[in-house]
């Protein structure tokens, strides 16, 4: 029996691209930079899926004052 895939980080508001070739993915919430997707690292280290995945807002959803 296989586990479901972890959340897809590029769709999360906490994910960012570091532009460092060795550590291209980052998570602002966990404060990590990694070669693999941060959700994979979280699952590997904690044994649980990331509980903080929040979808990025779409351009039309952004509130402007």
pLDDT digits (tens, 9 = 90+) for 9-58: 999 999 999 999 999 999 999 999 999 999 999 999 998 988 898 998 87
What 3-state DSSP class applies to 12? strand
Residue 33, C-beta contacts closer than 8 angstroms, at least 6 positions apart: 18, 20, 23, 25, 26
Q: What is the pTM of this model?
A: 0.76
Residue 58, C-beta contacts closer than 8 angstroms, at least 6 positions apart: none
CA 13/CA 11 separation, integer angstroms: 7
Of the pLDDT bands very low, low, confident and very high (cuts 50, 70, 90), residue 1 is: very low
């Amino acid at each position: 029996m296989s586990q479901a895939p972890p959340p897809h980080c590029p769709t999360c508001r906490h994910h960012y691209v570091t532009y460092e070739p060795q550590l291209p993915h980052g998570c602002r919430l966990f404060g990590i930079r990694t070669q693999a997707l941060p959700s994979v690292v979280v699952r590997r280290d904690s044994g649980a899926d990331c509980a903080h995945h929040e979808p990025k807002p779409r351009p039309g959803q952004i509130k402007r004052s």
